[in-house]
Amino acid sequence: MTFQQISQRASGYLKTAETLLRAAQTMSDRAIAGHLKAHADDYQRRAEKGPHVDAAKAFVRSAANAEGEWCT
C-alpha cells in the first residue's frame, strides 16, 4: 500500500466523520444524535490510527520480502 493510498484512506475516514457530525447536529432525536457522534469519533480514531498501522504492516511485509531474498 502506498503512502498516497494510506492518506486517501485517512482522508476518507475524516470526511465520513465530518458528515456524521453534521448529521448529528441536525437531529432532533438525542439518542440518534448520540449514536452518530459515537460513530464520528470512531472514524476520527481510525483516521488517526490508520496510517500508522498500515505503514507498520507495509514495513513488516517489506522486511519479510527482503529477508527471503537474502536467504536465497
**Is residue 8 scored above 90 in pLDDT?**
no
Concatenate the DSSP letters of all residues of 53-72 into one string.
HHHHHHHHHHHHHHHHHHH-
- The larger pLDDT score, comparing residue 7 to residue 24, is at 24
Domain, as residue range, for 33 = 3-71
Q: Do 50 and 13 touch, CB atoms closer than 8 A?
A: yes
User: What does the alpha-carbon distance between residue 32 and residue 53 come to, in Å, rounded to a whole number?
Assistant: 31
Asked if pLDDT for residue 43 goes beyond 60, the answer is yes
Q: How many domains are contained in the chain?
A: 1
Residue 12 phi/psi, 5° resolution?
A: -65, -40
Mean pLDDT of 7-35: 90
Half-sphere exposure of 27 (CA within 13 A, CB side): 15
pTM of the model: 0.62
Distance of CA 25 to the CA centre of its chain: 23
> Across residues 30-57, what is the average pLDDT?
82
